């Protein structure tokens, strides 16, 4: 009986490792392809973390909403800083309707990949994607 459980655990670990490697291999190139096909967009980014406190409820890892900028002079310290916009309502100035639609679709897709994003980028991080690549740095939050 225990031998069966150990085999299940071993198989589970193997499958998770394979999925992590597959996602790591594919995710960054997909994000780069998105940026390359939307040359008007200079950067996109999001935060992802497990909150330290949730008013008595369970603290669960989540991926924050996507931010984007068409400005060359964006604040790289905070997505709430200069140049960044959140994806609400109609397209913000400088974004095409197609860019806006694609960004919203990417945002929805990222939210469906939370477990994989945590595997690839980690917890308590800010992810910044530009034409040059993907940067991940530690993110301080409440």
Tens digit of each residue's pLDDT (9 = 90 or more) over 39-72? 999 999 999 999 888 788 898 999 999 999 999 8
What is residue 55's predicted lDDT score, i.e. its pLDDT?
A: 80
Residue 16 in this model has a pLDDT that exceeds 90: no
Residue 100 in this model has a pLDDT that exceeds 90: yes
Residue 1 in this model has a pLDDT that exceeds 80: no
Average of per-residue pLDDT values in the chain? 92
Residue 76 in this model has a pLDDT that exceeds 90: no
pLDDT band of residue 125 (cuts 50, 70, 90) is very high
What is residue 77's predicted lDDT score, i.e. its pLDDT?
A: 85
Handedness of CA 108, 24, 9, 124 (dihedral sign): negative
What H or E segment, with its residue span, contains residue 82? Answer: none
DSSP state of 135: E
Tokens coding 129: 């994607």
What is residue 139's predicted lDDT score, i.e. its pLDDT?
A: 94
Q: Is 35 helix (H, G, I), strand (E, B) or coil?
A: helix
The pTM (predicted TM-score) of the whole model is 0.87
Rounded to an integer, what distance in angstroms lies between the CA atom of residue 104 and that of residue 98?
10
Strand 62-63 and strand 133-138: pairing?
A: unpaired
Rounded to an integer, what distance in angstroms lies between the CA atom of residue 136 and that of residue 44?
12
Start-end of H helices in 37-136 = 97-111, 114-121
Mean pLDDT of 71-75: 89
Residue 12 in this model has a pLDDT that exceeds 80: yes
């Amino acid at each position: 009986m225990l031998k069966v459980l150990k085999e299940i655990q071993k198989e589970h670990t193997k499958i998770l490792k394979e999925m992590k490697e597959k996602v790591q291999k594919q995710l960054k190139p997909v994000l780069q392809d998105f940026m390359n096909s939307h040359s008007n967009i200079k950067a996109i980014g999001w935060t992802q973390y497990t909150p330290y406190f949730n008013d008595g409820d369970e603290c669960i890892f989540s991926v924050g909403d996507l931010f984007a900028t068409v400005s060359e002079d964006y604040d790289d310290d905070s997505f709430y800083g200069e140049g960044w916009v959140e994806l609400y309502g109609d397209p913000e100035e400088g974004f095409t309707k197609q860019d806006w639609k694609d960004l919203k679709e990417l945002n929805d897709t990222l939210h469906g990949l939370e477990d994989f994003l945590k595997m690839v980028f980690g917890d308590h991080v800010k992810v910044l994607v530009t034409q040059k690549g993907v940067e991940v740095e530690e993110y301080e939050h409440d």
